[in-house]
Amino acid sequence: MKKIEEPQFDKRSIEEIIALNGRKPGALLTILEEIQESNEFKFLDREAMEYLSDRIDIPLSRIYSVATFYSFFNLEPQGKYTIVVCRGTACHTKGSKNLLDQLFLLPKCKGAFESGESSFTTEDREITVKTVACFGQCALAPVVAVDGVIYNNVTTGQIKAIVKKIEEERDNENIKL
């Protein structure tokens, strides 16, 4: 069975990010973005935010409020690949629920959004699935993004193919429909 690495808190890269951006409150958003980007699992962990709070003298509560306000910040470890399914009205009408249901078939992901979460990550940390309210491409519904690349008129067959490719080519950086 594949060993799951525990996320590490990297003080040195946080120090470098602070040195580059300064300690003014106006730099907080950029600092948080860079800390998340530097984290192997693309998230802001609690220890990193506590450390940052001490180092730049901004209350932890303020850092949390910024991290929770912007949807691009993650407070949980993310998968290697991210699939975002649009759940807006146009996409829903064109079957985006079926696409999501297909992703719920991933191991241990059944009912993943039932407690109000807006994302889930597979236990092996390969895939994170998220939903979005609208990609602004309603005429081409249903719309899905895979690692930031937008795909239109997506079918359940294509979602199955994406998941199969991810499972088969875990080291391949570019997943194509």
SS3 (DSSP) at 93:
helix
Residue 147 and residue 41: Cα distance in Å, rounded?
14
87: its two tokens: 């759940």
Of all residues in this chain, which one has the CB nearest to ligand FES in the complex? 88
* Residue 88 in contact with ligand FES, rule: CB under 6 A: yes
Smallest gap from Cβ 97 to ligand FES, in A, equals 12
* 27, 109, 112, 134: which one binds ligand FES (CB under 6 A): 134
* 67, 143, 154, 166: which one binds ligand FES (CB under 6 A): 143
Return the number of the residue (137 or 158) whose C-beta is nearest ligand FES: 137
* 141, 146, 159, 163: which one binds ligand FES (CB under 6 A): 141
Map tokens 């935010």 to a residue. Answer: 49
Strands 127-132 and 81-86: parallel
Contact call for residues 18 and 12 (beta carbons, < 8 A):
no
Contact call for residues 121 and 166 (beta carbons, < 8 A):
no
Tell me the CA distances in angstroms from 156 to 50, 85, 137, 175, one per residue in order.
42, 12, 19, 16
Contact call for residues 47 and 9 (beta carbons, < 8 A):
yes
Return the number of the residue (109 or 140) whose C-beta is nearest ligand FES: 140
* Residue 151 in contact with ligand FES, rule: CB under 6 A: no
Return the number of the residue (53 or 137) whose C-beta is nearest ligand FES: 137
Residue 128 and residue 112: Cα distance in Å, rounded?
11
Return the number of the residue (18 or 86) whose C-beta is nearest ligand FES: 86
* Residue 138 in contact with ligand FES, rule: CB under 6 A: yes
* Residue 90 in contact with ligand FES, rule: CB under 6 A: yes
Backbone angles phi, psi at 9, to 5 degrees: -95, 120
Return the number of the residue (84 or 127) whose C-beta is nearest ligand FES: 84
Smallest gap from Cβ 92 to ligand FES, in A, equals 7
Q: Which residues bind ligand FES (CB under 6 A)?
A: 86, 88-91, 134-138, 141, 143
